[in-house]
Chain A
Amino acid sequence: MFAALALIVGTMPAAAQWLDRPWPGIPRTADGKPNLTAPAPRGPDGKPDLTGIWSGPNPEAILDPANEKPWVNELVRQRQQEYHKGRPSYQCLPSGPEVDTFLGWKRILQTPTTIAMLNDDLSYRVIFMDGRELEANPAPSWMGYSVGRWEGDALIVESAGYNTKTWLSRYGQAHTEALRVREVYRRRDFGHIDVEVTFTDPAAYVKPWGFKSRMELEADTEMLESICERSSEHWVGSAADAAREAVKVAPEVLARYVGVYNGVYLNTKRTIDVTLSGGQLIARVVGAAAIDGGEMRPLVPRSDTLFEGVGLGYQFIVDEKGVATAVVEIKVNGPITYTRLK
């Protein structure tokens, strides 16, 4: 029924990096656990050393339609209609500057002249630390071209030279070849790097935007490869298909589902805000990191209580009066129950 979801499992970040592999020579607390608040290590040049295996929370892109130029708005809408099946990672293609890649599992290795960021999908970036400048008109590539420098203890990375095939978020926010990305990394202690990412692309966005988050050291384990073995070209399903199979649900029934629901997805608290607009239920999905708003998912009725929202199932749990007490998000990696707050 929700066929488009079948492939999501292949795109899950390597959440199960489960190996128990003690790292020698790292600071530990009295009980033997890695001391994540010990001072950040420094390289021979005195600069903070970012070397390590890191991961961060699955970030929610900031969706702010008012900040998007109309053509970006339109592409975001189209890509949602197609259930995001063109997302580069779903096609086994590099994710480039997509929000998720800044915080997924990665290994960082640092020399005085080079920083290598090695992703678990075997894509990688090399950040040149030898003082070179970005080219004015670089050849477009998937992963871009990056130069870095130290400002005190902060690593500043400036990148350009992206092709236009990559997205800035899983929601399909587009960019032009003029995109510039600025990253700031501060290893504030042994176990944490504060990350700040800013996208500047005047032809696509009214003003620069980005996000702040945090990477945590994945000590005492190993990062294994996570290879995309099949692209998702055989995905089926779209908003148009869902509309064809839609059933009619009375407005007073829909009204009983309007409310705010809370749940946890991939260790991140999420809110689903269900509203009724022009006779259609809309689910606004907001994660903890979102600031300006989450993705708006039109909910297309399949029955009085079951809806399809951009390829996911939404099953409303109702009391004896037909009023929703919870909504269950149905996805291939398991259902998630969001309980009603109001």
Chain B
Amino acid sequence: MKTTVAVLIFTASAVCAAAQAPTTATAAGCPLEPVKFHACALPKTKSFNPPRTADGRPDLQGYWERAFTSQDIEEHTAGFGIQAGPSLVIDTPDRKIPYQPWALELKKDIVDRFISPLASCFPPGMPRHVIAPAAHQIIQTPGYVVHLLEYSHSYRIIPTAAGSHVPGPVKLWQGDSRGRWEGNTLVVDVTNANGLTWFDNAGNFFSDAVHMVERFTLVDADTIHYEARIEDPKVYTRPWTMVSALTRNKEPGFELFEQACHEGNRAVEGGQSVGLTPFPGVTNIRGGGR
């Protein structure tokens, strides 16, 4: 019973996600399947000379869409309102997230116990912001990259010029992003996550100790190779890497609209009515408090 209702709660966003599916099976001449895309796109980034901003940085600006939905970053079959999709994990033997045994146990029934953070209209956090539903826009100024998201009307800001992370005790829904340019790649170091967000609707999770290193590289004018290396000694047996293509939305006159996620949102009540509770983070689930 619980399972059924929990799935229904996610249906609204899943249908929306399906509507945003990419129309091209390839990007930059590479298949979208993450391992294949990674192998094919990375060499191309070496020879591609990207368009540049006035201050000489690769120009990532424009409207973008993710290659796959964030229904489940591990391989999954199609379901009601859900597209089948490959695993975004590229560097573990079974293409699964290398959970520690206790974490794998938690993962098994996490969506039967907890309300999806996105259903509660919380900001998506990293890296989900990058693979979140609906349209994305990147704006660059000297010293900053801003990633605007239509979904839940949120944004992330990546300072690229200066600054170290905010102090460790500061925990943020969107985490603290610090960027730098390595050649033509925007490398973003993310810490200070509050550990209350998920990777996807399947309940794949990390803790507030997570450290991510993201890499954004233009493969051609209309394709970004996005990679996130995830390290969380509280939850995984080893660091691992996920990859997705981001493809440019070239629709003439396209603009972001907005989604006031809390507007008429009854998903939380639906979850509570069958005994689900807000996801309190793994530190709280395992004890020790936050």
* Chain A contacts to B: CB under 8 angstroms: 19, 21, 23-24, 44, 51, 91-94, 107, 109-111, 114, 116, 118, 122-124, 126, 139, 141-143, 165, 222, 224-225, 227-229, 231
Contacts and interface: CB of A to CB of B under 8 A. Distances in A.
B162 A122 contact: no
B262 A231 contact: yes
Task: Give 8 nearest A-B pairs by CB, closest first.
Answer: A92-B262, A122-B154, A109-B141, A142-B260, A124-B155, A24-B162, A141-B258, A227-B173
Contact of A93 (B123, B146, B167, B260): B260
B163 A93 contact: no
Contacts of B144: 109
B261 to A, nearest CB: 8
Contact of B148 (A23, A110, A124, A139): A124
Given A93-B262, A122-B154, A225-B174, A51 B166 contact: no
Residues of B contacting A: mostly: loop
Contacts of B174: 122, 225
Nearest to A109: B141
B17 to A, nearest CB: 20
Given A51-B141, A224-B172, A116 B260 contact: no
B173 A44 contact: no
Nearest to B141: A109
A224 B166 contact: yes
A128 to B, nearest CB: 8
A109 B139 contact: yes
Nearest to A107: B157
Interface residues of B, number: 30
For B153, B161, B167, B256, the residue with the greatest tally of chain A CB atoms inside 10 Å of its CB is B153
Interface of B: 54, 121-123, 137, 139-141, 144, 146, 148, 153-155, 157, 161-163, 166-167, 170, 172-174, 256-258, 260, 262-263
A91 B262 contact: yes
A165 B155 CA distance: 22
A281 B141 CA distance: 54
A92 B121 contact: yes
A149 B14 CA distance: 40
Contacts of B121: 92
Most chain A CB atoms below 10 A, which of B141, B166, B167, B170? B141
Contacts of A229: 122
Nearest to A108: B141
Nearest to B194: A227
Given A118-B155, A224-B170, A227-B173, A93 B263 contact: yes
Contacts of B140: 111
